[in-house]
Amino acid sequence: MRRSGVPFISVLVLSLLGFGVACSSDSDSSGSTTTATSEATTETSSSTPEESAEPVTVLVTNDDGVSAEGIDLLTQALDARDDIELVIVAPLENQSGSGGKTTEGELVASETTTASGLDATAVAGFPADSVIWALQEGGIEPDLVISGVNDGQNIGALADISGTVGAARQAAQLGVPAVATSQGFGDPADFETAVDATMAWLDDNIDAVRSGELGTDTVMSINAPTCPAGEVQGEVDAPLAVDSSVDLTAVDCAGTAEPTDDVTAFVNGWVVFTALPPTGSTTG
């Protein structure tokens, strides 16, 4: 049966009208999407992070001498970071056990390099002299001083006679936050453990260093054991052992003693972080 022509035309007209409405709706929807996308883009652009913060200036020194392995590995790690401006000023020769001693009269400094070839300044004097020369004669304005990595632990009673600690304390006395970092004796010493611990501490504190919030009322001392067997148990904060009869060289990285002070923590296989006063008994 043939369909009537009028109903067909009506259906056609209605279909065309519906198509037009649909196109209009799609066009409006597309416009809304474009506007929303534009707004989102504008919002994203306005919330783009600011440029990277300026690098912090880190002065590195030690007491084993500018050519020592510990300072070489530490400065290589620091030099690889984009957020660090590295300056190296260290004793010309090994000055272990000199505490915070200083030299009277003029300090003599000469240009040199570390074992891996990084530019450095060698000071003929004690570790504390290197810090004094850098800040008072070398025109260096560090945000942080790191002393180390020392070859040998500086825990308990050893802290006060340590040139590594003495240099860090000298920095604090001159108004610059400081860290002393030491790796326990071993054959060979596992310097990378102390380097890693120091880098982790720096990651945790670099914002405070940059903002000037890190104070000088204490000096952070990091001591990492070289495990004769096994691995370090982890990291722990512990106070300085005031009076300890423990053998400071008898390290057992599987030890079970509670890490109540730096000596107990260290000899039982912990990397220990100890806040020290900025002055010691051998600062003369």
Q: For residues 124 and 235, state if they share a domain.
A: yes
- Residue range(s) defining the domain that contains residue 11: 7-43
Residue position matching structure tokens 């800040």: 135
- CB atoms inside a 10 Å sphere around CB 1: 3
Number of domains in the chain: 2
pLDDT at site 117: 98
Q: For residues 24 and 146, state if they share a domain.
A: no
- Point out which residues pair with 220 in neighbouring strands: 179, 275
pLDDT tens, per residue, the chain with 284 residues: 333 333 433 333 334 334 344 444 444 444 444 444 444 444 443 333 345 688 999 999 999 999 999 999 999 999 999 999 999 999 999 999 999 999 999 999 999 999 999 999 999 999 999 999 999 999 999 999 999 999 999 999 999 999 999 999 999 999 999 999 999 999 999 999 999 999 999 999 999 999 999 999 999 999 999 999 999 999 999 999 987 788 888 999 999 999 999 999 999 999 999 999 999 864 44
pLDDT at site 281: 61
Global confidence as pTM: 0.81
Residue 50 is assigned to a structural domain of this protein: no
> Angle at which helices 69-79 and 191-211 pack, to 10 degrees?
50
Residue position matching structure tokens 């790191």: 146
Q: For residues 109 and 192, state if they share a domain.
A: yes
Q: How far apart are CA 188 and CA 170, in angstroms?
A: 30
Question: What are the backbone angles phi and psi of residue 88, rounded to the nearest 5°?
Answer: -120, 120
- CB atoms inside a 10 Å sphere around CB 101: 19
pLDDT at site 51: 52
CATH number at residue 99: 3.40.1210.10
Q: For residues 232 and 146, state if they share a domain.
A: yes
Q: For residues 135 and 242, state if they share a domain.
A: yes
pLDDT at site 66: 99
Residue 138 is assigned to a structural domain of this protein: yes
Residue 284 is assigned to a structural domain of this protein: no
E strand map for the chain: 56-61, 84-91, 109-113, 119-123, 144-151, 178-183, 219-224, 234-237, 270-276
Q: For residues 82 and 165, state if they share a domain.
A: yes
Side-chain-side CA neighbours of 58 within 13 Å: the count stands at 29
Residue position matching structure tokens 């025109």: 139
pLDDT at site 18: 45
pLDDT at site 152: 97
Residue 183 is assigned to a structural domain of this protein: yes
Q: For residues 267 and 179, state if they share a domain.
A: yes
Residue 11 is assigned to a structural domain of this protein: yes
pLDDT at site 239: 98
Q: For residues 140 and 193, state if they share a domain.
A: yes
Residue 2 is assigned to a structural domain of this protein: no
Residue position matching structure tokens 């020392």: 150
Residue 30 is assigned to a structural domain of this protein: yes
Residue 267 is assigned to a structural domain of this protein: yes
Q: For residues 37 and 16, state if they share a domain.
A: yes
Q: For residues 24 and 124, state if they share a domain.
A: no
- Residues 6+ away with beta carbon under 8 Å from 60: 71, 74, 75, 78, 86, 87, 88, 89, 90, 145, 146, 147
Q: For residues 100 and 17, state if they share a domain.
A: no
Q: For residues 60 and 39, state if they share a domain.
A: no
